[in-house]
Structure 1
Amino acid sequence: MKQVIALCAAISLLASTALSQEQPALSARVARTLTIDGLSFKDLNRNGKLDAYEDWRLPAAERAADLVKQMTLEEKAGLMMHGTAPSVGPGSGMGVGTEYDLGRATDMIEKRKVVTFITRLAGDPAALAEENNKLQEIAEAGRLGIPATISTDPRNHFQFVLGASVAAGGFSKWPETLGFTAIGDAALMRRFGDIARQEYRAVGIQEALSPQVDLASDPRWPRINGTFGEDAQLSKSMAQAYVAGFQNGENGINKDSVIAVAKHWVGYGAAKDGYDSHNAYGRHATFPGNNFAEHLIPFEGAFKAKVGGVMPTYSILDGVILDGKPLEAVGAGYSKQLLTDLLRGKYGFNGVILSDWLITNDCKGACLDGEKPGVKPTLNEETFGMPWGVEDMSRVDRFAKAVNAGVDQFGGVTSSDLLVEAVKDGKISKERIDQSATRILIQKFEQGLFENPYVDPEKARSIVGNPAFAAEANAAQARAMVLLDNKAKLVPVQSGKKVFLYGVDPKVAATRGFTVVAAAHEADFAVVRLNAPYQQPHMNYFFGSRHQEGDLDFKDGNADFEAFKSAANEVPTIVTVYLARPAILTGLLDRAGAILANFGASDAALFDAIQGRQKAEGKLPFELPSSMDDIRAQKSDVPHDTRKPLFPIGYHLRY
């Protein structure tokens, strides 16, 4: 038996060795190619010989160790910056547009040694692919030829908030992640991740700044739309499936992976009064229910799928005791207790910890107090920050504290010189810098970027948003809808009737066999689209002017609500509400003939559900409260805990 085991081990070793000798495709625009023993390698540092880090036959960790030895402190510090790929034209301060500013990009790569970027470009997939190739060419020309890693906020959904997501453009358009939770099908969640992975890699994007794994425990919080809802166990299952789809399996990073970054570690959803910690007025999360442990559960799914990255929350967590000690009153990116002790220690996470954006910058003036009346809030990443709990520290000391807490890479900044200064001042050890540099490089090697960082623009055009992907996405939009009420038995509705529409494209209804009329009293029924109610009491803050905050109930005078009431007074009315957050639907329930909740659905998908071509299968991923009094009485860290919800979590009707 021992001989058989030994023989199997030898065969396995030979197979592994043979696999490591398989020639990968090489792509180079600057570096020359070396031929050794009939195999090809890129001479990235142009020294005429094969260095260990250039040898694709070696394990990623061995290659990374060799490269780190060759790097200067400045190059390692640059590796730890995750900058914004600069663009030209309007919106260039946030990298928005259709093409990069190659002069500024060259400066960032050559002088600041930055080789990781978030892209916010949109437009034609082939053009985006070529723009990303241009960044890679600049990076390849660097002293060591280290390829760029290009990341993105989510691109495949309906809602777009600058700084949190990117308009879908040509990418396949799916429901928000809440919609996948509503369907409850982990296989579909993984399928979405796999399709998005293919689309990302086709245009030269290798890292996803998602999934948003936060437990959505306060219903007023404006970031709920990007989460998996408020069921911790279901969120755990969805997080695992999402990561597995994006990373091309559950065994870590490979050459076809998009690195997933689970965020925001941890407790972000327990936002005090529902206000978001992008904003100075929302920097605290509170735990009056002593329920911190439940907020950890969704992340366990991401860890099970060997997620490559973790992003800490901006929030300062109030009322949390960890290992018998209260948490230090700092944002999670500065908390050694949360990053080193809990994340690295208890959970054994060995990937890259990427800070949320701009945590080392100052927050003064309009960032802290909001703009003066009449002044439109703007954001410049160089003059805006979220240094919660360390506002009085110097920027150098902030870098030092974050690195010593456990951060490997800094989002939204390129201040590598300050990190160098912190090391030279003895505030960070060189060994600690080497740790972070190694983690970052290992993932670049595992993805095969040193061999082939370039993409084919024409192939990108054929992959991104192709008809097959679009069909799957459209079906998911309808499946994710939740039938909450059908007392008038309007759903499913037969074609051939006269319909009044509000917020719906008449062309879609006409193609489905309905006659669209101009007035509700002329119709057999009405279809009305609404968004979940919100206010914006902080319009003088950049993110406050973009976030949906405040009360969740429909109030008289709201234009959409008044349009619904007007239609419902005339004819039986189907109303669909886009639930970016939970909504109080008390004002709709007595008037509507049918209520469909959606989490991002085109008009075509809406009519699929209304007509029963693709039935709504969803279950509520959170409860819908009865009143604002109940919401104000709930505990911010405890999910679905209002006194008497109008619709409980998991509610649905069939038809």
Structure 2
Amino acid sequence: MQETNTEQVAALLETLSLEEKVAQLGTVRIGTLLEDGSFSRDRALETIPHGIGRVTRVGRESRLEPAALARVVRDVQSFLEAETRPGIPAIFREEALCGYAGRRGTAFPQSIGMASTWNPELLERVADGMSSQLRAVGCRATLAPVLDLGLDPRWGRIEETFGEDPALVGRLGLAAIEGFQGGNHGSVLATAKHFAGHGRPEGGQNRAPATRSFRTLEANDLRPFRAAVERGDVESIMAAYHAVEGVPCHADERLLTGVLRDEWGFDGTVVSDGRGIELLCDDHHVVPDRAAAGRIALRAGIDVELPERECYGSALLEAVRDGEIREALVDRAARRHLEQKSRLGLFESATPDPDCVGEVFDSEEHRRLARRAARETLVLLENNGVLPLSTDATVAVVGPNADSPRHLLGNYTYAAAESDESGLDVVTPLEAIRDRLQTRSVRYERGCEVRAEDDATDGESGDFDAATAAARDADVVLACVGGRSGIDVERDATGTAGEGLDRTSLSLPGRQQALLEAVAATGTPLVVVLVNGRPLSLASLDTPAAILEAWLPGQAGGLAIADVLFGDVDATGRLPVSIPRSAGQLPVHYRRTALSAEQDYVDEPADPWYPFGHGESYATFEYANFDVASTTVPIGGAIDLSLDVTNAADRPGVEVVQLYVRDREASVTRPVRELRGFRRLSLPPGERRRVSFSLSTDALALLDRDAEWVVEPGSFEVQVGRSSADIRLRETVTVTGALEPPSSPVAVLDSMGHR
């Protein structure tokens, strides 16, 4: 990013008419400027005569090939510069949650899978790869990353999150922001969303009110956003749809101005969620009409309306002229937007080069990166020794996600809505396994669809005869089951997860559970591959021989699944969420207090089916020689510790060493343990490595009874292990001194990974 040319922005703002300033606050969809797939000057003259702040949905809505889209962006920018009086270029934007959401955009793994890598450096590379494709078509902004905590798996959008832990989400969020805004391919504005508390909706329903108090949000949900502002210099924040303590986020001046700007020092733009301002009157009913919604949102601190000018258009213009809102508020938002355009360098060069687009689409570099990323997302939940598979085995492949390219993709990939014209080469698990074993060794029977209503057969159990026959004749059964990601608020109401697709159950959709039971009854070893965006529970099924959580692994998902199943690479993923046994346990995240975490139900335990941080490996790791430099540390000092990790297997492996801390006594109730550091290690057979952490006492800070961040003296148990439920080594440390505020409430990020 460039430095802001404040003098240029101030001089430009001074020359703008009220109409031109209001235009900078608005957005238009690319379709309003197109005719037969090309830029229409007549439509532009009618739609954006005074200029425009942003142009949105350029890849998804135009459906253009990258080079053709780059020409359209060039033509729009040329029109704005030459044929509108201000001559101000627009910021074009497209989604890039798991890849540029346009034709031929590389489909990387969905966010929850990237979180399972526990590899910030890899995530930064992936975000940089997305940035290169965005830049190539002329997009300089994207609506990613999602920094919501994924606390309720009933919520369809949990797939878009980096999991349940504030520190892990914050660290991965910084990696994504750096990849977008500071990568090798130039700057694309990142947008951290959804501010705030969107990941803990009431009843698990999208847009429902946040279930906890503002104090709880500040201690947990706000911390990744604070890290994005204070450590990542994120350029944009998106407000959330829901209400916190009765106040819709789009109208919450305390949140959008008091906390975000006055307390944290944010100086970028706050954008609305799609039609979020309209919801203030249409759904929240806190104002009588959309004109009033625009006024209250602008006062609260919303600078840009997405995706169209329903509340920031002519109604806002009239409100200023009628004295219902101060023009200074329009100036404030317009200045912030112009400053971003200055930092992006748009006043010097705003047009992409269509002739260079081919360099970053369909590239071997991106295909390799997509495959590597997909490999590292895979989490081996269970393995009784059946994996890795032998290339001499005969395999029965069953299930609706074995040969469905679309089902491997996250909800905001272009192919999720336009699968027939995405231009992607998506390799399914069945294709990859057939390539390994040759067709004669593989028999495929779909068995059922993801949703019961899509099955061709009637009856409670479906027709599984062909699937069970294939299972009896095989050495192993590979069942690829799970869900189908979509976006119900747009075109796709056939999904089982994604935006607007919430569920009350965490079991497999449709007849898939019955399919698993049928093939398991044959006695042939069963390997389950879960392809899904939300955590699903198979706790009621007799434990299969192996379970591989694949999430939504993207275009190289089938290749990556085969790579891990056959042992070409280790299973390296670790869970970024706790997987419940049932929906009745919720919330079941690992950061609960002792009273909830340690008290069982009458009908099932309180602990999850699989805990946060869990993931098996083909190697075996031993932890030993735990050394804490000093068991007494003053406030302001650091807890220095080290340990030996040894790969005791005869094959290479990857381990994720996890550091947790338990506050044994505090002024407020504390979680049983909290993640405070991790290291991802690649170890050859028999190798031992010394792993060190230096944990500042600032990382022990809590929000006290007066809602102030403090570091308290006391006794802390430092724990190291393979997951939140598999602690291998521990030591008690006494922190001494008087209460002090931390240098920053996000200081814990200093021990996260290798940053």
Q: 1:299 aligns with which of 225, 229, 236?
A: 225
Corresponding residue for 2:202?
272
Corresponding residue for 2:673?
none
Matched, 1:150 2:92: yes
Report if aligned partners of 1:578, 1:597 keep a CA contact under 8 Å in 2.
yes
Identity of aligned residues (%): 28
- 1:378-389 aligned within 5 A: 387-389=282-284
Q: 1:479, 1:399 → 2: CA distance? A: 44
**CA offsets 1:80-109 (integer angstroms, 9 cap, x no match):** 0123221699xx9xxxx9666665444222
Q: 2:249, 2:107 → 1: CA distance? A: 32
Q: 2:145, 2:318 → 1: CA distance? A: 34
Displacement, 1:486? 0.7
**CA offsets 1:414-443 (integer angstroms, 9 cap, x no match):** 242111112112232222211111110111
Q: TM-score, normalised to structure 2's length?
A: 0.66
Corresponding residue for 1:517?
443
State the AA in 2 paired with 1:200: L
Report if aligned partners of 2:488, 2:500 keep a CA contact under 8 Å in 1.
no
- 1:111-126 aligned within 5 A: 113=52, 115-119=54-58, 120=60, 121-126=62-67
Displacement, 1:194? 1.3
Corresponding residue for 2:307?
412
Report if aligned partners of 1:533, 1:551 keep a CA contact under 8 Å in 2.
no
Q: 2:487, 2:126 → 1: CA distance? A: 32
Displacement, 1:204? 0.8
Corresponding residue for 1:23?
none
Corresponding residue for 2:166?
232
Q: 2:48 aligns with which of 106, 109, 115?
A: 109
Matched, 1:610 2:565: yes
Corresponding residue for 1:204?
138
State the AA in 2 paired with 1:509: I
Displacement, 1:359? 2.6
Corresponding residue for 1:49?
none
Q: 1:540, 1:138 → 2: CA distance? A: 31
Q: 2:352 aligns with which of 444, 455, 458?
A: 455
State the AA in 2 paired with 1:358: R
Structure 1 runs of 4+ aligned residues shifted over 4 Å read 97-103, 111-115, 385-388, 532-546, 633-642
Label 1:618 to 1:335 Cα distance change in 2 as closer, same or farther (>3 A): same
Displacement, 1:74? 0.5
Corresponding residue for 1:583?
536
Label 1:400 to 1:386 Cα distance change in 2 as closer, same or farther (>3 A): closer
Q: 1:75, 1:217 → 2: CA distance? A: 43
Root-mean-square deviation (Å) = 3.3
Label 1:646 to 1:102 Cα distance change in 2 as closer, same or farther (>3 A): farther
Report if aligned partners of 1:178, 1:226 keep a CA contact under 8 Å in 2.
yes
Corresponding residue for 1:285?
210
SS of match in other structure, 1:237? helix
Matched, 1:529 2:459: no
Report if aligned partners of 2:485, 2:532 keep a CA contact under 8 Å in 1.
no
Displacement, 1:493? 0.9
Higher normalized contact order (CA 8 Å, seq sep 6+, divided by chain length)? 1
State the AA in 2 paired with 1:654: S
Q: 1:527, 1:580 → 2: CA distance? A: 20
Q: 1:261, 1:535 → 2: CA distance? A: 21
Corresponding residue for 2:704?
none
Q: Which runs of 5+ in 1 are unaligned?
A: 1-55, 158-165, 319-328, 364-384
Displacement, 1:398? 1.2
Displacement, 1:563? 2.8
State the AA in 2 paired with 1:395: R
Matched, 1:222 2:156: yes
Displacement, 1:219? 2.4
Report if aligned partners of 1:331, 1:389 keep a CA contact under 8 Å in 2.
yes
Higher strand share: 2
Q: TM-score, normalised to structure 1's length?
A: 0.76
Corresponding residue for 1:53?
none
Label 1:599 to 1:575 Cα distance change in 2 as closer, same or farther (>3 A): same
State the AA in 2 paired with 1:581: R
Displacement, 1:579? 3.7
State the AA in 1 paired with 2:274: W
Q: 1:255, 1:463 → 2: CA distance? A: 10
SS of match in other structure, 1:595? strand
Displacement, 1:123? 4.7
Of stretches 578-587 and 258-267 in structure 1, the one that deviates more from structure 2 is: 578-587
Report if aligned partners of 2:578, 2:590 keep a CA contact under 8 Å in 1.
no
Report if aligned partners of 2:578, 2:588 keep a CA contact under 8 Å in 1.
no
Matched, 1:650 2:636: no
Of stretches 335-344 and 522-531 in structure 1, the one that deviates more from structure 2 is: 522-531
State the AA in 1 paired with 2:270: I
Q: 1:350 aligns with which of 247, 263, 267?
A: 267
State the AA in 1 paired with 2:46: D
Q: Which runs of 5+ in 2 are unaligned?
A: 404-429, 445-469, 598-605, 619-755
Report if aligned partners of 1:156, 1:171 keep a CA contact under 8 Å in 2.
no
Label 1:402 to 1:534 Cα distance change in 2 as closer, same or farther (>3 A): closer
Matched, 1:495 2:391: yes
Corresponding residue for 1:480?
377
